[in-house]
Amino acid sequence: MSQKLDVAVLGATGTVGQRFIQLLAAHPWFRVAEVAASDRSAGKRYAEATRWVLPGEPPTEIANLTVLPLDAAFKSPIVMSALPGDVAKTLEPTLAAAGHLVSSNTSANRMQTDVPLLLPEINADHVRLVDAQRRKGWAGALVTMSNCTIVGTVVALAPLREFGIERISLVSMQAISGSGYPGVASFDILDNVLPYIGGEEEKVETEPQKILGALTQDKIVHLETRISAACNRVPVMDGHTVCVSVGFKHKPTLAQIREAWENYQGHDLARELPSLPKPVITYSEGADRPQPRRDRDAGGGMTTTIGRLRECSLLDYKFVTLSHNTVRGAAGGAILNAELLVAQGYASHVMDTLEGAQTR
Amino acid sequence: MSQKLDVAVLGATGTVGQRFIQLLAAHPWFRVAEVAASDRSAGKRYAEATRWVLPGEPPTEIANLTVLPLDAAFKSPIVMSALPGDVAKTLEPTLAAAGHLVSSNTSANRMQTDVPLLLPEINADHVRLVDAQRRKGWAGALVTMSNCTIVGTVVALAPLREFGIERISLVSMQAISGSGYPGVASFDILDNVLPYIGGEEEKVETEPQKILGALTQDKIVHLETRISAACNRVPVMDGHTVCVSVGFKHKPTLAQIREAWENYQGHDLARELPSLPKPVITYSEGADRPQPRRDRDAGGGMTTTIGRLRECSLLDYKFVTLSHNTVRGAAGGAILNAELLVAQGYASHVMDTLEGAQTR
Amino acid sequence: MSQKLDVAVLGATGTVGQRFIQLLAAHPWFRVAEVAASDRSAGKRYAEATRWVLPGEPPTEIANLTVLPLDAAFKSPIVMSALPGDVAKTLEPTLAAAGHLVSSNTSANRMQTDVPLLLPEINADHVRLVDAQRRKGWAGALVTMSNCTIVGTVVALAPLREFGIERISLVSMQAISGSGYPGVASFDILDNVLPYIGGEEEKVETEPQKILGALTQDKIVHLETRISAACNRVPVMDGHTVCVSVGFKHKPTLAQIREAWENYQGHDLARELPSLPKPVITYSEGADRPQPRRDRDAGGGMTTTIGRLRECSLLDYKFVTLSHNTVRGAAGGAILNAELLVAQGYASHVMDTLEGAQTR
Amino acid sequence: MSQKLDVAVLGATGTVGQRFIQLLAAHPWFRVAEVAASDRSAGKRYAEATRWVLPGEPPTEIANLTVLPLDAAFKSPIVMSALPGDVAKTLEPTLAAAGHLVSSNTSANRMQTDVPLLLPEINADHVRLVDAQRRKGWAGALVTMSNCTIVGTVVALAPLREFGIERISLVSMQAISGSGYPGVASFDILDNVLPYIGGEEEKVETEPQKILGALTQDKIVHLETRISAACNRVPVMDGHTVCVSVGFKHKPTLAQIREAWENYQGHDLARELPSLPKPVITYSEGADRPQPRRDRDAGGGMTTTIGRLRECSLLDYKFVTLSHNTVRGAAGGAILNAELLVAQGYASHVMDTLEGAQTR
């Protein structure tokens, strides 16, 4: 792709918005052309509207962009959404209908029947749900990224689907960056654990069935599996660590599981995407791995690291899985989804439709 | 008890030894008369031999004691052991045979058939195993304290034994004080989670069956229950937080569980012990409780705090439990065990037997 | 004092307000009778209006109080103020004029000429400024507590005033509890240092001159000394650590300084106050002390711990000083100030004046 | 340089040794050919001998090297030393005499008269001291890297030398990675500050005079300046933050200082070195910058970030400076020094002299 596609980042001043901007700074296909945020920020220079909380400073070319209001007439064919749920609920479909390829990191529309909930390395084919969106008249598309906590678990389980995943027990130890900014007060988390994250266990117990489900015609047949989750916040900056136990219909051997992970290349349709995790999965032999600080940046923050596979006396096997919650689990994941849309040809119609859309 | 019983603290310079000294400083029944440690420390003033890592400074009267070697002829009727496992394995039985009441915090002898593994609030009657020790000729006694991680879980489950505890899944988030001093390197735990603690899961999966077992004649019939554990270290000073799921033979209602916890007074034989947790259990209504920093010091660090009781989609119920690992889970627990020995009359024989033993 | 004086806590739902309630729970002279807060909280039960962030739960008897609005007609003779600065600015004088003894922890009125800025152990006589308040017609009184960061330094320097304190250089490492709740975001402080605290250096560079000043007639002659401060936030819960260098007019010996600290009993007028730090100062011989986690609770959080006294190659001497910022440096300090007012007889007039004021 | 020079890393299994290996993995001039460590590690595969504490895993090609003993006959022309002080004291000069270019990160030989103490961006000409080494018969050379804490301060002050630096007061807040592995116990530093680091203040108060000194003929005339330091350990992984006050002979304006920093290109001789920090100095306009977590990785961890320049009421100006302690302040700095040796032609003689030395 010799010319880059313009991207509008919505909710650009928040922590996920900042990650979008950081990760898109050197993207081979995309460039940030528009940034938008709530009325409080609209009209200001991005650098002034934003309390930049990532390392360093915002890229100079973005720093000088004027923040647009959320109801602006965006010109970019691609829209990355890090919007609050209530705003996203209606704005994302509106933009998709109007001809944008909307890649959302918000939970608001994830469970809609005709909206794909994508982790391309494991279910890239679900992008075909967009055809249903087209049939109902949308000129663009809306695809969504899953809850960040579930990523390491579903990526670990995807190569094991053939054994029949019946029961999943998971306990998470989640990084504070997952709660945005200002997010978790230091008064609450220093020398402490918070054994509750509002709304999290519900998402963790329901999204995997859709993600791991099968595309049949126009819809996803959810995987039938029972999940029990307990979600905790720990004093870690980035990287969600999850202790998983899993019970199978056809119990594999330890060696079969290890082999499935080692050989896993990810879904065919995702193989050539620039942000595809390389590798998709790393199994660490270290007795005390994965660890968030030491493994979260594997594969540029996109790789899932697994360790400690062993027998479980209640279900079949236990392991620990780790994924970077604001890269693979948020902005990086949504960028990967947008790449999939483009690679699958959904952008061409958009480029024709959208007034002012252009490549550079 | 108008006069106090002398106590020897073995392994007195380590972190658990320091907790013994801190907690015994104002004890109504006991006073620290002797401190002992490895050859490196023996012969020095306690204050010089010890890198005191608890807040403040060691109590003045202890600071000036001379550290004895571990093979000294101890005069104290009560011996608190925070010895390393290999030393404890043989020294604890030797001292018990010689007439001391040995209350150990070490794992070495916990699973011996005739050694009680006591949490007096739930199994004080197990102290009767000492009679078997007497029959084999020991003039004293040896009782042990459980692994610190399991405390919050077994205290929570004890009042629920009537419903038939069949399966327990637990994932711990453990404080760094559990690894002693220097223990966990800051390089390993700052901004990090260590998803492995050597030997811990094995203890956690086997000790509860003995603790929750039934005393019949001369031995403990272990509770038949299956346990699966995953143990993690988190950047918290004190207090082990555990996410528990439990499956029952006769599933109780939520209300029945809450009622069982609220009414729980602890074992009859333990009711008058000075270190009995008051209350034994606190159920916190807070949506995000228990938390280690805010709940570990409940009841002087002896109370177990439970929260978040809710249905589990795999087993029957889930909850979070928390206990102070170096107070209830170590030194405080061993002191409580020693109190039980004294209250049950095991000290009188010792006082007659032990040369030089005296009250003051 | 056989009967306790009623206290109203203003700003009762915030972190300093919570400390007031925690510390007054077992106070020998005072009892909390009224709690007040902003309109958002007024009318609710205290337990419902408050996100209790200290360990455990609020005391039951306070939990059930109804939160009053800030413009209520308070009946308590004593008012503890943890109000926001803008509200305090006018409300504190109004309440003092109306007959309350107002002990404030807010900066708003600290530097007013006729308002004492008290650390009773070092300048209890400054309370005489209240006579000037009376002369201008106030039926009550207003006294203030200093900025929390300066406490450890001025307490350390007070016994050295005879040597002529000319220059003070100080660099603080401050706990996150100093910023209230939610205060510092964990996103900002985990694995980090914030080398700036808004408005702090200005207070630190100007308040000591008044605190260490001399009462002459109706006013305080400020100590003439130059102060340079750099204030930092570090990932510590409680306890402000300060590296101090000091230059004297008449350079004492190291031994003279140590002697001055060891012999320091605090101001005569403060000796019998229940909250007087006991001791006022502790000098720690540890090479690496004082440390916030290990020394902040000395003397119930009221004692200043000093260590590392040594020569300075620029000024005369360097040392490290530490004080608990929300106990000695906030609520505990304001309680001590209120005790001084009562001990100096300022309450009697109030009890006659204030309608409904009573002891119980 | 089309072929790379072989490098031996001594003390390769420690934390600084690991940083050497990490940073040299993609170095344009150097490749790690030999790794050596103490007898405990010698003979093992590097991956087995090393507890790798940096993120990820050691590079595969290094993981398979056999660890050599420290008395091996090294073939590499370049030697990077992260040796313990006592070993370094004699081994480094021995290797330099034998023909190696030794770039040391150890303090043992820093203050030797004919050993350059280099921060090439500010004193690259000091490398000429090597000529004195050659004259006394060494076939190779020995150059040293400064203490990590002083880096941010001397880099900030170097462009200000023209104003006459008379007095420096500095208080550091140092990361735990500075103490190696296992280094600082988490029991000592979680929720805490350690206001003492053994031997640190002495180095900080004496090394800058040599670093900022002037090369005249065969020796360095130390800068005459008085320094007072207080060094603290804080719970931060990487990055030393230092609060500096400085007094000048000819007080510049704020603008002059800012201009000196902005225009600073570093020493002429260092301009083309691959590891030269780019830029050498960044001045951050953020009110609360620099911060270790957000600024330590500037310029790949080699750039010094400065902020908060303001008047000081005791000396002339205050500011905050930050430098990555294990990159710029250790391994990265020593690599830069080795680059300077090569760029200045000191390697050619070595290549002729050293048996088996080769490029690839």
| Residues A227-269 pLDDT 10s | 999 999 999 999 999 999 999 999 999 999 999 999 999 999 9
Q: How many residue pairs from chains A and B have C-beta atoms closer than 8 A? A: 123
Q: Rounded to whole angstroms, how far apart are CA atoms A113 and A93? A: 13
Write down the catalytic residue from B100, B240, B267, B324: B240
The answer, yes or no, to whether residue C68 has pLDDT greater than 90, is: yes
**Yes or no, beta carbons of A184 and C186 under 8 Å apart:** yes
What local confidence, expressed as pLDDT, does residue B348 receive?
79
**Which tokens sit at D339?**
């680059």
Check pLDDT > 80 for residue B359.
no
d(CA D284, CA D241): 14
pLDDT digits (tens, 9 = 90+) for A15-25: 999 999 999 99
Contact A190 C235 (CB under 8 A): yes
Which pLDDT value is given to residue D217? 80
C153's tokens:
């330094």
Q: What is the pLDDT of residue D360?
A: 44
In whole angstroms, give the CA distance from residue D124 to residue A260.
Answer: 54
Residue C349 reports pLDDT greater than 80: no
Residue C217 has what pLDDT?
A: 80
The class level of CATH for D149-324 reads alpha beta
Tokens of D129: 């001291």
Identify residue D70 by its one-letter amino acid code.
L
**Which one of the listed residues B126, B148, B267, B324 is annotated catalytic?**
B148
Q: For B292, which residue in chain C has the nearest alpha carbon? A: C55
CA distance A79 to chain B (A): 33
Contact at CB, D298 and A191, closer than 8 angstroms = no
Among A169, A227, A288, whose Cβ lies nearest the Cβ of B196?
A288
Within chain D, all domains assigned CATH 3.30.360.10 are found at 149-324
CB–CB of A185 and C181 under 8 A? yes
Q: Write out chain C residues lying below 8 Å of B191, CB-based.
A: 190-191
pLDDT at residue B360, as a whole number: 45
Per residue in C94-127, pLDDT (tens digit) is 999 999 999 999 999 999 999 999 999 999 999 9
Q: Among D126, D148, D231, D324, which one carries the catalytic annotation?
A: D148
Average pLDDT, whole number, for chain A? 95
Nearest chain B Cα to D188, which residue?
B53
Where chain D has pLDDT below 50, the residues are: 1, 359-360
pLDDT (mean) for A31-43 = 97
Q: Which two tokens stand for residue D99?
A: 């023909």
Q: Quick: pLDDT tens for B155-187.
A: 999 999 999 999 999 999 999 999 999 999 999
* pLDDT bracket for residue C339 (50, 70, 90): very high
pLDDT tens, position by position, A146-196 = 999 999 999 999 999 999 999 999 999 999 999 999 999 999 999 999 999
Spatial separation of the C-alpha atoms in residues B70 and B102, rounded to whole Å: 14
ipTM summary value: 0.95
pLDDT tens, C171-227?
A: 999 999 999 999 999 999 999 999 999 999 999 999 999 999 999 988 999 999 999
Q: How is residue C137 written in tokens?
A: 């017609």
- Give me the pLDDT at residue D331, please: 97
DSSP state of D66: B
**Is C360's pLDDT higher than 50?**
no
Find tokens 């398979």 and name the residue.
D64
Yes or no, beta carbons of B293 and A191 under 8 Å apart:
yes
Which residue is closest to A51 within chain C, CA to CA?
C188
Distance from CA of B86 to the nearest CA of C (A): 32
Indicate the burial class of B252 (C-beta count within 10 angstroms; 0-12, 13-18, 19 or more). Answer: middle
Average pLDDT over residues A103-114: 96
A232·B245 Cβ contact <8 A = no
The pTM of this model reads: 0.96
pLDDT of B358 strictly over 60: no
Q: Which two tokens stand for residue D131?
A: 């000529």
Could you count the other beta carbons within 10 Å of the beta carbon of residue A275?
Answer: 27
Question: What is the model's pLDDT at position C3?
Answer: 84
Chain A residues with a Cβ under 8 Å from any Cβ in chain D: 53-57, 190-191, 237, 284, 293-295, 297-298
C-beta separation of B163 from B223 below 8 A = no
Predicted confidence at residue C353, as pLDDT, reads 62
Q: What is the pLDDT of residue A353?
A: 62
Q: Known catalytic residues of C?
A: 148, 240
Q: Pick from D358, D308, D296, D44: which is nearest to D151 by CA?
A: D296
Return the pLDDT at B3.
84
The answer to whether B293 contacts C55, with C-beta atoms less than 8 Å apart, is yes
In this predicted model, what pLDDT tens digit does every residue of B103-117 receive, in sequence order? 999 999 999 999 999
CA–chain centroid gap for A347, Å, is 20
Of A187, A235, A237, the CB nearest to C177: A187
Is-contact C182 C142, C-beta < 8 A?
no
| CA–CA distance, C12 with C20 (Å, rounded to integer) | 8
Average pLDDT, chain B: 95
Domain spanning C5-147+330-353, CATH architecture: 3-Layer(aba) Sandwich (3.40)
CB C227 to CB D318 under 8 A?
no
- Chain A CA closest to residue B195: A288
D329 Cβ partners below 8 Å, 6+ apart? D145, D146, D147, D148, D149, D151, D178, D240, D323
Q: Catalytic residue at D243?
A: no
Q: Write down which chains contact chain B via at least 3 CB pairs under 8 A.
A: A, C, D
CATH architecture of B150-324: 2-Layer Sandwich (3.30)
pLDDT digits over C217-230, tens only? 889 999 999 999 99
Interface residue of A15, A294, A305 to substitute, partner D, most D CBs within 10 Å: A294
Q: What is the location of CATH 3.40.50.720 in chain A?
A: 5-147+330-353
DSSP C253-308: PHHHHHHHHHT----GGGTT-TTS-SSSEEE---TT---HHHHTTGGGGT-EEEEE
Contact assessment for residue B296 and residue B148, using Cβ atoms and an 8 Å cutoff: no
User: What radius of gyration do chain B's Cα atoms show?
Assistant: 20
What's the confidence (pLDDT) of residue A274? 97
pLDDT at C218: 82
Contacts of residue B225, defined as CB under 8 A and 6 or more positions apart, other chains included, come to B165, B166, B167, B168, B208, B209, B212
Report the residue of chain C nearest A55, measured CA to CA. Answer: C188
